[in-house]
Structure 1
Amino acid sequence: MFKKTERQAMYVWLYSMKWKRKLQHYGTIYYSSPKMKYVMLYVNSSRLAEVQKELLTKKYVKRISLAHRKELDEHYVLKTPEDKTEEE
């Protein structure tokens, strides 16, 4: 059966977009911006530290930052007008 693996998004800023194909070796490329010269890359959470360390040694990588989506609370509650009257 299908097993869910935890993944982490990382943004990799490059000096030149010609190195984009090299990043496919490290994870799944989800988005790339030629104008701003960055690639959004999904990596397995278990390999995150080693991939980040290895990418920082590459000459074509300017900097790396991690996405903060895991830190956000994704459970939202909508308030209806009835709920507002009960609070008052």
Structure 2
Amino acid sequence: MFEKTERQAIYVWLYSMKWKRKLQRFGTIYYSSPKMKYVIMYINSDRVAKVKSELKTKKYVKRISMAHRKELDEHFAMKIPEKNSEREE
């Protein structure tokens, strides 16, 4: 059956967008911005450290940063304050 694999988003800033196709072998390209010259990629979580260290050695990569989505709490519940029966005026 289908098994869910954990993935990590990674932001890769490039010197030139002509190198975007080279990044396809490292992971799945989700979005690219030609104006700001960056690419958002998704990589399997078990390969993140290896891919990140390999990308740092490439001459066309300016900067790499990780997405912080896993650190955020995605359970949004409305917290309604309890109403006091007595109004203070």
**Fold match, TM over 0.5?**
yes
> Residue 85 of structure 1: CA displacement?
0.9
Deviations 1:16-40 (A, max 9, x none): 0000000000000000000000000
2:83 to 79, 82, 85: 85
Percent identity over the alignment is: 74
Query: Does residue 29 in structure 1 map to residue 9 in structure 2?
Result: no
Give the match's secondary structure for 2:19: helix
Runs of 4+ more than 6 Å apart? none
Structure possessing the higher radius of gyration over alpha carbons: 2
Query: Which residues of structure 2 form unaligned runs of 5+?
Result: none
1:61 aligns with 2:61: yes
Q: Where do residues 2-41 of structure 1 align in structure 2 (5 Å cutoff)? A: 2-41=2-41
- The one-letter amino acid paired with 2:26 is Y
Q: Which structure is higher in helix share?
A: 1
RMSD: 1.4
Partner of 2:44: 44
Unmatched segments (≥5 aa) in structure 1: none
In 1, Cα distance between equivalents of 2:9 and 2:42: 4
* 1:30 counterpart SS class: strand
